[in-house]
Amino acid sequence: MRWRTVAAGVFAVTAMSAIGGAQTVQTFEDFNPCDNTPDNVGLYGGVNYLNQWTCYGFSQPPFTPQSGTNRVYAALGGSNSNSASFSFAATTFAGAWFSGSATVNFQLFFLGNPVATSGPLSTSGTPSFLGSGYSGLVDRVTVNGNSIQWVMDDVTFGAAVTSTPEPATIALLGSGLLAIGALARRRRRASE
């Protein structure tokens, strides 16, 4: 009976490590002041927007926010730009919502090296999600547009990647635990 308890505990710990951390979504709703002051977004919620972004909250079609009223656009040196970056501690990056009238994509970096480029997203007045298409560690993201006519909202990133066992590893662990259990049962019967 004891081996079953040990096996169940080991399996639970292994399964929990495979789940990983929760995602964070930055909506810019609590960013203050979100007043269209050029380059006004620096450090916000653990992300360094490098003062390359401007937050604003007034109505301006087709630059529709995904949630609430606030969103950001790329602004370098006080003028609109077709690209801007942000950085954070090594984590996974799921993507963000965009609207406007441009085509945008992500370039993802880790330790100064490019690791992935997302597919393109053609924006419209209805916000659309652009997924990063990459599940590895990232510490900097550059958003590129073919024009300056886009805004970003609801930036989504996850907890730092931990060692996640592959399904085959979990199966191997399970079969090993079953073998240990069978051996323990055989020894118990032999000692009776």
Report the alpha-carbon distance of residue 168 to residue 155 in Å, rounded: 33
Domain boundary assignment for the chain: 24-157
24-157 classified as CATH 2.60.120: yes
Instruction: State residue 6's pLDDT score.
Output: 46
Residue ranges in the chain whose pLDDT is less than 70: 1-21, 159-174, 177, 183
pTM for the model stands at 0.74
| pLDDT for the residue 14 | 44
* Residue 35, token pair as written in the block: 């007043």
pLDDT at position 191, please?
A: 74
